[in-house]
Structure 1
Amino acid sequence: MKLKLCVSLLAVLLLSAVSPYAQENAPKVDVFAGYSYVQANPGVTGVDSFHLHGGNASVGYNLTSWLGGVADFGGYTNGNVLNTQTSGTFSTYLFGPRVSYRHDARITPFGQVLFGAVHANAAALGTPNTQNAFAMTAGGGVDYRLLDHFAIRPFQAEYLMTRFGEGTLGTRTQNNLRVSTGFFFRF
């Protein structure tokens, strides 16, 4: 099963790489900005999962028509900004590769795996201290080109793994979901 999946993915990448459309119309740089939602599952005893709303921005550089690198930055809050005792904030700083399938003139599906860091204040974690931790995302989305240099991203969905410390339990994995939508410019 895994071998079939790997062979299929390789075939898609090779077809995308040799497609005349892909070679001619892949932007060298794209800049994304949009709304982002995180379903945070802290896994800390006594702290239920919670919702964070905010935004993320990314800059992508396409090495080929199908392979590029991405720098992604996000900022989130639980919405209770005025009450600093319970206001949770969360920031991500992620970098990694993106694979795009550019076979259609308007629609470009993509997948990416990003690695980096996450910062959360004490209220976001239900702990007495702010923390910085390892973070990773894996997922993808679809871009829809409206004009030559302007496109929208109707959806992007990713698994977001964080590794915050949980008091006496030590560092543990938190399994989160991140969903984004927005627009981007293609250069």
Structure 2
Amino acid sequence: MRLFLVLMSLFSASMAACSQQVQPPIEIALDYNFVHTNAPPAGCSCFTMQGGGGAVLWNLSPHFEPMFKASDTQASAINGTSSNLNLTSYLFGARSGLPVRHWFRPYGEAAVGVAHATGSMISLQGYGPSQNVFAATVGGGLLIDVTPRIAIQAVQADYYLATVPNGVNGHQNNLLVTAGVVLRFGERH
């Protein structure tokens, strides 16, 4: 976490000299989520989960946005079995971006928080019907401005760590891919 904060500070400081259009102070993102996960124990009995989510971001400066993200993804009939899994996450973190053009903005972000896992896959491991576990994401994406108030989140790809009990090592190394729309609100004074 310290490394992330140091890197974000250095990136923000180096970008301070760059000019950027003034953005409204609040962004709300609504998105579709696709997760490729390895939750079953032993090897990669990988499967996919799908769902949706959202985020609220506060533009403190042109290059630093604290955020809160929530998402819910589900999988059923995992690997041809009757097992299912629901993973709901609540994460806090920060995003930093730099516009290449006034309408095109790549960014990086990191967040940590809690994931709530439910479903028969959790019960089959002998851990009860649900678990609250540590979760974290780190990655980046691309925003394309449609208007000053609306942007398309063309793609975001994150490493998504969840520590759901699995009978082996208690963590999953997931790939989270997101796409959606971003709405901007408020006026900067």
The normalised TM-score by structure 1 is: 0.82
Aligned to 1:136: 136
Aligned to 1:151: 151
- List aligned pairs for 1:1-12, cutoff 5 A: 10=10
Aligned to 1:3: none
- List aligned pairs for 1:31-180, cutoff 5 A: 31-42=28-39, 44-45=41-42, 48-79=45-76, 86-125=83-122, 126-128=124-126, 129=128, 130-167=130-167, 169=168, 172-180=170-178
Quick check: 1:36–1:56 contact (8 Å CA) kept in 2? Answer: yes
Give the fraction of aligned pairs with identical amino acids, expressed as a percent: 26
Quick check: 2:59–2:66 contact (8 Å CA) kept in 1? Answer: yes
Quick check: 1:71–1:94 contact (8 Å CA) kept in 2? Answer: yes
Structure 2 gap segments, 5+ residues each: 1-5
Distance 1:166 1:42, change over 3 A: same
- The runs of at least 4 aligned residues of structure 1 exceeding 4 Å deviation read none
| Larger helix proportion of the pair | 1
Shift of 1:105: 0.8
Quick check: 2:23–2:148 contact (8 Å CA) kept in 1? Answer: no
Distance 1:124 1:71, change over 3 A: farther
Quick check: 1:101–1:109 contact (8 Å CA) kept in 2? Answer: yes
Aligned residues: 172
Distance 1:110 1:153, change over 3 A: same
Write out per-residue CA displacement over residues 58-99 of structure 1, whole angstroms, 9 at most, x where no aligned residue.
00011110011010000011156xxxx633211111111111
Aligned to 1:186: 184
Shift of 1:28: 1.1
Write out per-residue CA displacement over residues 20-63 of structure 1, whole angstroms, 9 at most, x where no aligned residue.
3x2x4233110000110011112513882111000110000111
Aligned to 1:19: 18
Equivalent residue letter for 2:173: N
Partner secondary structure for residue 18 of structure 1: coil
Partner secondary structure for residue 32 of structure 1: strand
Shift of 1:178: 0.2
Quick check: 1:66–1:102 contact (8 Å CA) kept in 2? Answer: no
Shift of 1:111: 0.5
Matches of 1:124 and 1:111 in 2, distance apart? 32
Matches of 2:86 and 2:63 in 1, distance apart? 34
Matches of 1:36 and 1:107 in 2, distance apart? 22
Partner secondary structure for residue 25 of structure 1: coil
Distance 1:103 1:157, change over 3 A: same
Equivalent residue letter for 2:162: T
The normalised TM-score by structure 2 is: 0.81
- Alpha-carbon RMSD: 2.4
